[in-house]
Amino acid sequence: MLSPVIEEALNNQITVEAQSSQIYLAMASWAEVLGFEGVAQFMYAHSDEERMHMLKLVKFINERGGHAKISALEAPPTQFGSFKEMFQELFNHEVKVSACINDLVDICLTEKDYATHNFLQWYVSEQIEEEALARNILDKIKLIGDDKGGFYLFDNDIKLLITAANKA
């Protein structure tokens, strides 16, 4: 059985994950409108992944005797300036999500809820991967600079990344 403190904290994380999905969906739409198919596919896939993170929390809360609550979300931005700015925003958002997960882990230890602590270790590992991926993409964008041909190649590379991941 979840304590009220843990249940509330997990429900807050549901909102964080849902908001992440919406942000990445908005980024996907923006990239698609600009003709960057690879970046759009990457962001659509990322949006789906964040939604799965949310659903995993919903099911966990309900299975542990709590009540998962779905709350309203803030509208995400619809414009992102440049791809560098968009991926910087993605990276900053992932750092924020990592901080939220770390706070959740801390609450679990304080509450001595080791089952939830164990469940959250998957999210801790996932966030390490998410931050590393975002940092890697930012590093590539910095290498490209303002080279439009470089962005074309980057878009194709990221499309291949998504295609390979879907085949795996």
What is the rounded radius of gyration, in angstroms, for the C-alpha atoms of the chain?
A: 17
pLDDT digits 0-9 by tens, 146-168: 777 888 888 888 887 776 656 65
**Percent of the chain scored above 90 by pLDDT?**
80
Low-confidence winner among 42-46, 75-79, 82-86 (lowest mean pLDDT): 82-86
* pLDDT confidence band for 118 (50 / 70 / 90): very high
C-alpha to C-alpha distance for 108 and 99, rounded to whole angstroms: 14
Please report, in range form, the residues annotated as the binding site: 17, 50, 53, 94, 127
Structure tokens at 60: 């966990």
Identify the burial level of 1 via C-beta atoms within 10 angstroms of its C-beta, where 0-12 means exposed, 13-18 middle and 19 or more buried: exposed
Q: Provide the pLDDT for residue 166.
A: 64
Q: What is the residue whose two structure tokens read 């470089």?
A: 150
Binding-site positions for Fe cation: 17, 50, 53, 94, 127
Per the structure, the count of domains in the chain is 1
Q: At 44, which CATH number? A: 1.20.1260.10
- Average pLDDT value for the chain: 93
Residue 142 has pLDDT above 60, yes or no: yes
pLDDT at position 81 over 60: yes
Amino acid at 167: K
Given a cut of 90, whether residue 145 has pLDDT beyond it is: no
Query: Three-class SS of residue 66?
Result: coil
What's the confidence (pLDDT) of residue 164?
62
Tally Cβ neighbours within 10 Å of residue 78. 10
Render the burial of 97-114: b for 16+ CB within 10 Å, e for the rest: bbebbeebbebbeebebe
Domain containing residue 94? 4-167
